[in-house]
């Protein structure tokens, strides 16, 4: 498996934290809450977090998450709204909190999605999959406008197939093998 794009410069034995002050939401999304309630009621076992980054890697990760949750194994997976789960202690966060498995599809080794959720759910166990290791592309590219939409979809298809196999056969994180 190839290396991810980002390098790790921090001392891995020392934890440090960012402190984020987020204003409580004054609004409510009934669609989001209804979806979460339905997924909980149907006892969907896996919650899928995804990188939502604006770069090529983040966009491919997002497409893979959508493919897995809405096309490939919807009976096993709930697609988590990362913004909703991170900023409100309601249905989306409950999906993560109550899941048998929480799988974080990360665009790169910065692992924003899993780190964000660990910041709001104490002792959260996530299985991290670095999506950019599961498709072939020019790793010098960064922005989504540097490839065609068709190429991006092909990357997502390639990664989806490999990640579905991983989800169905493993329950370990591959984050330890990265940078």
Average pLDDT over residues 25-36: 93
Minimal CA–CA distance to 135: which of 160, 118, 116? 160
Residue 161 lies in a domain: yes
Query: For 80-129, how does the pLDDT look when each residue is reduced to its tens digit (9 = 90+)?
Result: 999 999 999 999 999 999 999 999 999 999 999 999 999 999 999 999 99
Q: Are 8 and 109 in contact (CB under 8 A)?
A: yes
C-alpha–C-alpha distance, residues 70 and 65, integer Å:
8
Structure tokens at 156: 């997502």
- Among 22-31, 76-85, 153-162, the least confident range: 22-31
Residue 12 lies in a domain: no
pLDDT higher than threshold 90 for residue 12: no
Distance from chain centroid for Cα 114: 7
Structure tokens at 77: 């997976």
pLDDT higher than threshold 50 for residue 175: no
C-alpha–C-alpha distance, residues 34 and 158, integer Å:
32
Q: What is the pTM of this model?
A: 0.88
Residue 66 lies in a domain: yes
Query: What does the DSSP 8-state code read for residue 111?
Result: -
Which domain range does residue 61 map to? 30-168
C-alpha–C-alpha distance, residues 135 and 70, integer Å:
20
The mean of the pLDDT values for the chain is 90
Residue 22 lies in a domain: no
Average pLDDT over residues 140-154: 97
The pLDDT of residue 14: 75
The pLDDT of residue 7: 63
CATH for 36: 3.40.50
């Amino acid at each position: 498996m190839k290396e991810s794009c980002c390098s790790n410069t921090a001392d891995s034995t020392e934890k440090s934290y960012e402190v984020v002050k987020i204003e409580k939401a004054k609004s409510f999304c009934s669609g989001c809450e209804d979806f979460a309630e339905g997924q909980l009621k149907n006892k969907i076992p896996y919650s899928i977090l995804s990188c939502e980054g604006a770069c090529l890697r983040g966009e491919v990760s997002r497409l893979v998450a959508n493919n897995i949750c809405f096309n490939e194994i919807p009976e096993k997976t709930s697609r988590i709204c990362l913004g909703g789960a991170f900023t409100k202690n309601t249905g989306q966060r409950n999906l993560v909190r109550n899941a048998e498995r929480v799988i974080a599809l990360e665009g790169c080794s910065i692992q924003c999605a899993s780190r964000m959720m660990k910041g709001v759910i104490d002792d959260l166990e996530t299985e991290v999959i670095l999506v950019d290791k599961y498709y072939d592309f020019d790793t010098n590219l960064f922005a989504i406008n540097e490839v065609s939409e068709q190429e991006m979809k092909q990357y997502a298809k390639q990664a989806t197939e490999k990640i579905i196999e991983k989800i169905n056969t493993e329950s370990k994180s591959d984050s330890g093998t990265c940078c």
